[in-house]
Chain A
Amino acid sequence: MQSLISDNIVRKRFSVEELQITAEEVESLARMDENLPSYAGFIEDELLGRLKNASIQGGYLIEPAEVVDETIIIEGNNFEVGPTIAGALSNSEQVAFFVCTAGNEISERVNELNAKGDWLEAYLVDVMGSVMVETAMDKLQAIIENECVANGLRITNRYSPGYSGWNVKEQALLFSFFPEKFCGITLSDSCLMHPVKSVSGFIGIGTKVRYRKHACSQCNATNCIYRNSKKHCDFSHLNG
């Protein structure tokens, strides 16, 4: 099989500090209401302590693409993304493949806390992991957008396998465009990503594409922590 790995892959690492995650944001997304004690101290301690050196990283590459009906064709490979995503990417001339992870440190810490019976703390670290990977992905997307804008192009929202009718099994084909264990991410037999707090997917690029500011109504992830929040997830979802 001909290698699909391009030599124009961009890879970025992010520190917890530069993501500027606040305890308030985590508590709000976790739905810690005002009747509960504040866990701000715990969240800050985790971000500055155990999770400080989390292996947060991501990367992308841009390839020419053609959208035909419900299929996106890239380098002769068909991605059956379904009508929702194909519609959103319909005018794309290129596609940015992306992957991003908050690192395995999150799952390790969640497991450790769950084993001690500290379930609420484990849940908060899980939410922190989601915020970390989505915030890192926001930064990666901003880099892609800046590159596109500099060339007179625009971008779409980001879309992930597992959501909006795009089968999670296609994650294997998506990952074949990256080197093995790229950013430390591997796929299980069921095409799920490890570390768990990882995202992957497509961003459409073109002169006629558009970015939707409020995309939750088109997404089927009804229990997404970002759903209808001020800072929405932009359609990429963990381990989709």
Chain B
Amino acid sequence: MEELFEQLAYCIEYGKINKPSPFPPDMKDKDGADEITQQLLNEGISADDILQKALIVGMEKVGVKFRENKVFVPQVLMSAKAMDAAMAHLKPHFANSPGSQKGTFIIGTVEGDLHDIGKNLVAMMVEGNGYEVIDLGTDVKAEKFIEAAEQYPGAVIGLSALLTTTMNNMEEITKAIKSHNRNIAICIGGAPVNQDFCDKIGADSYNPDPQGVVEFLNKTVE
């Protein structure tokens, strides 16, 4: 069984979606995330074990490689696609056992900013690590974040910005959320943001890469 977990984690790490998918070349004609996940379920392995022992392991490896500039956006998207193929088998099982996910993460690009590639990568990586993700999209106002936080109590909020000039909006949104409920954890990310800025605006965590967000969530969410 351990071998199948390893194979599945490898498929996620390298983006082997299913048997017909030609990538990666060294896995041509071999089973991918789709088939191996089904095989594990057929052998009576729980969806949660598959998620924890294979899918999250694979996504973590991709996250670390992305942080270290060993892989780039396309490779992460290939991994996310393989993850999605596996999750299609697992989701019906999770739907029957609510609470099996680790927690909820609300994410959006702040008002005044339409850039979404970084936000999407974080969303995919967080989802791949066992969290429910509520993606509010781009150009999101404070009220929308607060509304979502009320709908999903205990959720962590992630704010993304790419423009230096929308960092101000990130500050205003953080203050609005905190004044509404100071217990809502907020993490921030994006090219112009850093730890000093995070401290200044009163956010709880700054993460320069998606894996950092996952690590923050793992520490924060009970």
Interface hit among A118-126, A132-140, A206-214: A118-126
B162 touching A223 by the CB < 8 A rule? yes
A119 touching B77 by the CB < 8 A rule? yes
- State the Cβ distance, A39 to closest chain B Cβ, in Å: 8
B80 touching A192 by the CB < 8 A rule? no
**Contacting A117 at CB < 8 Å: which of B81, B115, B164?**
B81
- State the Cβ distance, B81 to closest chain A Cβ, in Å: 6
Contact residues on B (Cβ < 8 Å of other chain), bracket: 20 to 34
Number of interface residues, chain A, beta carbon within 8 A: 33
For A119, the chain B residues whose CB sits under 8 A away are 77, 80-81, 120, 124
B74 touching A31 by the CB < 8 A rule? yes
B139 touching A223 by the CB < 8 A rule? no
CA–CA, A124 to B78, complex, Å?
12
CA–CA, A166 to B165, complex, Å?
7
- State the Cβ distance, A191 to closest chain B Cβ, in Å: 7
B75 touching A33 by the CB < 8 A rule? yes
Q: Which B100-145 residues have C-beta < 8 A from chain A?
A: 111-115, 117-118, 120, 124, 139
CA–CA, A30 to B76, complex, Å?
12
> A165 in the interface, Cβ–Cβ < 8 Å?
yes
Q: Which A202-230 residues have C-beta < 8 A from chain B?
A: 220-223
For B202, the chain A residues whose CB sits under 8 A away are none
> A168 in the interface, Cβ–Cβ < 8 Å?
yes
> A201 in the interface, Cβ–Cβ < 8 Å?
no
With A126-B117, A190-B139 as contacts: A120 and B164 at CB distance below 8 Å: no
CA–CA, A221 to B192, complex, Å?
8
For B24, the chain A residues whose CB sits under 8 A away are 35
Q: Which A13-47 residues have C-beta < 8 A from chain B?
A: 30-33, 35-37
Q: What residue of chain A has the Cβ atom nearest to residue B72's Cβ?
A: A31
> A3 in the interface, Cβ–Cβ < 8 Å?
no
B163 touching A168 by the CB < 8 A rule? yes
Q: What residue of chain A has the Cβ atom nearest to residue B22's Cβ?
A: A37
With A30-B73, A168-B112 as contacts: A120 and B191 at CB distance below 8 Å: no
B80 touching A190 by the CB < 8 A rule? no
- State the Cβ distance, A42 to closest chain B Cβ, in Å: 12
Interface centre among B75, B120, B165 (most CB of A within 10 A): B165
> A196 in the interface, Cβ–Cβ < 8 Å?
yes
Q: Which B188-212 residues have C-beta < 8 A from chain A?
A: 191-192
- State the Cβ distance, A117 to closest chain B Cβ, in Å: 6
> A156 in the interface, Cβ–Cβ < 8 Å?
no
B165 touching A239 by the CB < 8 A rule? no
> B166 in the interface, Cβ–Cβ < 8 Å?
yes
A168 touching B165 by the CB < 8 A rule? yes
With A37-B22, A190-B139, A220-B192 as contacts: A120 and B112 at CB distance below 8 Å: no
Q: Which A162-199 residues have C-beta < 8 A from chain B?
A: 162-169, 188, 190-192, 196
> B23 in the interface, Cβ–Cβ < 8 Å?
yes
For A190, the chain B residues whose CB sits under 8 A away are 111-113, 139, 169
- State the Cβ distance, A70 to closest chain B Cβ, in Å: 14
Interface string of B41-77 (1 = CB under 8 A from A): 0000000000000000000000000000001111101
With A166-B165, A167-B165, A223-B191 as contacts: A192 and B139 at CB distance below 8 Å: yes
Residues of chain B at the chain A interface (Cβ within 8 Å) = 22-24, 71-75, 77-78, 80-81, 84, 111-115, 117-118, 120, 124, 139, 162-166, 169, 191-192
A-B contacts, 13 listed (Cβ < 8 Å): A31-B74, A33-B75, A119-B77, A119-B81, A123-B77, A162-B165, A163-B165, A168-B112, A168-B163, A190-B113, A190-B139, A239-B114, A240-B163
